[in-house]
Amino acid sequence: MDQKTVILDKIPFEIDIPRLFERLRIEEDDDMAEDVVALVKEASGLGRPKGIYSTAYIDEKDDCGIAAGGIRFVSRVMRVNLDKVHRFFPFVVTAGVELDQWARSYGSGLERYWADCIQEAILRCASEYVRSHIVANNSLDAGGVAVMNPGSLQDWPISEQPKLFELIGNVKEATGVELTDSFLMLPVKSISGILFASDSNYENCRLCPRENCPGRRAPYDATLYERKYK
Ligand code: SF4
């Protein structure tokens, strides 16, 4: 079946200022608040977050992984998560090269830290937009989808990232996102992964023992891998 690729290069976004202040531990009446708001205005004028995704149809499944579009992915967790589906949606989302250059212009001080947090807020908006786009255009149920990201778990290591990019195709041309030799994405404020239909409330975090992670979305379940994926 043909693989359809969708490029989203005009993603609207709005930064949640109270949430940003909370992240930066700044009060609204703080002297620094005005400086942060000025940076938000700059970023809002310059920002061009982008996303790309495709529809991948599964060719084969075995104990250790799956193949789609002629590309084999090795991950037991992915294999089990995709057990009941025949397709999934590989994606890349980025805050964009424009904001990356803007943030770099602030060097390495406090303003740079704020600029990085602003980029993260914009990336979050863009990710939600891309997720909603996939759901709305593929007859999916918003409450019945889950996401996996290469590199989040040992089971699906970051070294699988080039295959994900290959499966999507034209990622750099469409979004400006490229991979380093160690498979990290540049700009760094980018996310890659697969979205799939699932009624299991899957979250990478349930399988990830990392302590004190600020991005944790679900508690670690120490026996989940043994129970469900082994
Ligand atoms: S706990 Fe943190 S590092 Fe682990 S999967 Fe969740 S967000 Fe990623």
CATH code: domain of residue 106: 3.40.109.40
Going by alpha carbons, the residue nearest to atom 6 of ligand 1 is 205
In a domain, 35, yes or no: yes
Pocket test for ligand 1, best of 211, 213, 220 (most atoms within 8 A of CB): 213
Distance, CA 192 to ligand 1 centroid (Å)? Answer: 14
pTM (predicted TM-score): 0.95
Domain encompassing residue 54: 5-202
In a domain, 55, yes or no: yes
pLDDT attached to residue 164 = 98
Beta pairing partners, 178:
186
Pocket test for ligand 1, best of 120, 127, 153, 205 (most atoms within 8 A of CB): 205
Beta pairing partners, 153:
156
- Closest to 44 (Cα-Cα) out of 113, 106, 125, 108: 125
28, 34, 65, 108 from 31: Cα distances, Å: 8, 7, 53, 21
Print the SS3 string covering 8-48. ECCCCCCCCHHHHHHHHCCCCCCHHHHHHHHHHHHHHHHCC
In a domain, 82, yes or no: yes
Going by alpha carbons, the residue nearest to atom 8 of ligand 1 is 152
Distance, CA 203 to ligand 1 centroid (Å)? Answer: 9
In a domain, 147, yes or no: yes
Peptide bond into 12 cis (omega under 30): no
pLDDT attached to residue 201 = 87
- pLDDT tens string 133-153: 999 999 999 999 999 999 999
Distance, CA 100 to ligand 1 centroid (Å)? Answer: 23
Q: What's the CA gap between 202 and 207, in Å, rounded?
A: 9
Distance, CA 27 to ligand 1 centroid (Å)? Answer: 28
Q: How many CB atoms lie within 10 A of CB 65?
A: 18
Per-residue pLDDT of the chain (230 residues; tens, 9 = 90+): 456 899 999 999 999 999 999 999 999 899 899 999 999 999 999 999 999 999 999 999 999 999 999 999 999 999 999 999 999 999 999 999 999 999 999 998 999 999 999 999 999 999 999 999 999 999 999 999 999 999 999 999 999 999 999 999 999 999 999 999 999 999 999 999 999 999 998 999 999 999 999 889 999 999 999 999 98
Q: How many domains does the chain have?
A: 1
Which one-letter amino acid corresponds to residue 148? M
Within 6 A (CB) of ligand 1 lie 152, 204-205, 208, 210, 213, 215-216
In a domain, 212, yes or no: no
Pocket test for ligand 1, best of 208, 212, 220, 221 (most atoms within 8 A of CB): 208
pLDDT attached to residue 1 = 47
In a domain, 214, yes or no: no
pLDDT attached to residue 3 = 60
Q: At what angle do helices 17-24 and 31-46 cross, to 10 degrees?
A: 120
Q: Where are the beta strands (DSSP E) in 33-107?
A: 50-54, 56-62, 65-68, 71-74, 87-94
pLDDT attached to residue 4 = 83
Which one-letter amino acid corresponds to residue 189? K
In a domain, 221, yes or no: no
* Ligand 1: nearest atom to the Cα of 208: 4
